[in-house]
Amino acid sequence: MSVQGIDQLLGELKAMSSLAAGQPAQVENVPQGADFASVLKDSLDQVNQMQLDSQAKQQAFEAGAPEANLQDVMVSLQKASLSFQTMVQVRNKLVSAYQEVMNMQV
Protein backbone atom coordinates (compact mmCIF):
# COMPACT_ATOMS: atom_id res chain seq x y z
CA MET A 1 0.00 0.00 0.00
CA SER A 2 1.40 3.39 -0.95
CA VAL A 3 1.96 6.30 1.42
CA GLN A 4 -0.55 8.35 -0.56
CA GLY A 5 -3.19 5.67 -0.04
CA ILE A 6 -2.49 5.64 3.69
CA ASP A 7 -2.75 9.44 3.87
CA GLN A 8 -6.04 9.33 2.00
CA LEU A 9 -7.39 6.64 4.32
CA LEU A 10 -6.33 8.64 7.38
CA GLY A 11 -8.05 11.72 5.98
CA GLU A 12 -11.25 9.75 5.41
CA LEU A 13 -11.09 8.31 8.92
CA LYS A 14 -10.59 11.76 10.45
CA ALA A 15 -13.55 13.15 8.51
CA MET A 16 -15.77 10.27 9.59
CA SER A 17 -14.68 10.55 13.22
CA SER A 18 -15.52 14.25 13.23
CA LEU A 19 -18.93 13.43 11.77
CA ALA A 20 -19.46 10.79 14.44
CA ALA A 21 -18.56 13.36 17.10
CA GLY A 22 -21.20 15.72 15.71
CA GLN A 23 -18.73 18.19 14.24
CA PRO A 24 -18.94 19.31 10.62
CA ALA A 25 -16.52 17.45 8.38
CA GLN A 26 -14.14 19.19 6.05
CA VAL A 27 -15.07 18.05 2.55
CA GLU A 28 -12.08 18.63 0.32
CA ASN A 29 -13.06 16.93 -2.95
CA VAL A 30 -16.29 18.83 -3.67
CA PRO A 31 -15.81 21.53 -6.29
CA GLN A 32 -17.48 24.90 -5.74
CA GLY A 33 -20.83 25.24 -7.45
CA ALA A 34 -21.39 21.50 -7.73
CA ASP A 35 -25.01 20.47 -7.57
CA PHE A 36 -26.22 17.99 -4.98
CA ALA A 37 -27.29 15.31 -7.45
CA SER A 38 -23.87 15.10 -9.10
CA VAL A 39 -22.06 15.00 -5.74
CA LEU A 40 -24.39 12.25 -4.54
CA LYS A 41 -23.95 10.28 -7.77
CA ASP A 42 -20.16 10.63 -7.60
CA SER A 43 -20.23 9.42 -4.00
CA LEU A 44 -22.36 6.42 -4.93
CA ASP A 45 -20.00 5.63 -7.79
CA GLN A 46 -17.01 5.79 -5.44
CA VAL A 47 -18.68 3.45 -2.96
CA ASN A 48 -19.56 1.07 -5.77
CA GLN A 49 -16.00 1.16 -7.10
CA MET A 50 -14.61 0.42 -3.63
CA GLN A 51 -16.95 -2.55 -3.37
CA LEU A 52 -15.89 -3.85 -6.80
CA ASP A 53 -12.17 -3.36 -6.08
CA SER A 54 -12.52 -5.09 -2.74
CA GLN A 55 -14.32 -8.01 -4.33
CA ALA A 56 -11.66 -8.31 -7.05
CA LYS A 57 -8.85 -8.32 -4.48
CA GLN A 58 -10.67 -10.90 -2.41
CA GLN A 59 -11.20 -13.17 -5.41
CA ALA A 60 -7.56 -12.79 -6.46
CA PHE A 61 -6.41 -13.74 -2.96
CA GLU A 62 -8.74 -16.74 -2.88
CA ALA A 63 -7.42 -17.86 -6.27
CA GLY A 64 -3.87 -17.71 -4.92
CA ALA A 65 -2.62 -14.86 -7.10
CA PRO A 66 0.98 -13.98 -6.12
CA GLU A 67 0.38 -10.21 -6.18
CA ALA A 68 -2.54 -10.40 -3.71
CA ASN A 69 -1.55 -10.18 -0.06
CA LEU A 70 -3.83 -10.52 2.94
CA GLN A 71 -3.16 -7.03 4.32
CA ASP A 72 -4.32 -5.28 1.15
CA VAL A 73 -7.38 -7.52 0.96
CA MET A 74 -8.37 -6.81 4.55
CA VAL A 75 -7.79 -3.06 4.23
CA SER A 76 -9.84 -2.90 1.03
CA LEU A 77 -12.64 -4.91 2.65
CA GLN A 78 -12.70 -2.56 5.65
CA LYS A 79 -12.64 0.53 3.44
CA ALA A 80 -15.50 -0.85 1.35
CA SER A 81 -17.49 -1.70 4.47
CA LEU A 82 -16.87 1.69 6.05
CA SER A 83 -17.80 3.58 2.88
CA PHE A 84 -20.98 1.51 2.53
CA GLN A 85 -21.96 2.14 6.14
CA THR A 86 -21.33 5.84 5.65
CA MET A 87 -23.49 5.88 2.54
CA VAL A 88 -26.28 4.12 4.45
CA GLN A 89 -26.10 6.82 7.13
CA VAL A 90 -26.25 9.53 4.46
CA ARG A 91 -29.31 7.82 3.00
CA ASN A 92 -30.91 7.67 6.44
CA LYS A 93 -30.29 11.40 6.94
CA LEU A 94 -31.78 12.16 3.52
CA VAL A 95 -34.90 10.13 4.27
CA SER A 96 -35.22 11.82 7.65
CA ALA A 97 -34.87 15.28 6.09
CA TYR A 98 -37.41 14.39 3.40
CA GLN A 99 -39.90 13.19 6.01
CA GLU A 100 -39.37 16.35 8.03
CA VAL A 101 -40.01 18.54 4.98
CA MET A 102 -43.11 16.55 4.08
CA ASN A 103 -44.48 16.98 7.62
CA MET A 104 -44.11 20.76 7.51
CA GLN A 105 -47.34 22.69 7.44
CA VAL A 106 -47.69 25.07 4.55
pTM for this one?
A: 0.63
Q: What is the mean pLDDT of each run of 10 residues along the chain (106 residues)?
A: 60 73 61 74 91 94 91 93 92 91 86
The pLDDT score that the predictor gives to residue 1 is 44
**Cα distances (angstroms) measured from residue 2 to each of 8, 9, 48, 61, 85:** 10, 11, 22, 19, 24
Amino acid making up residue 2: S
d(CA 34, CA 72): 33
Rounded to whole angstroms, the Cα distance separating 62 from 41 reads 31
Residue type, 45: D
Residue 34's pLDDT is what? 67
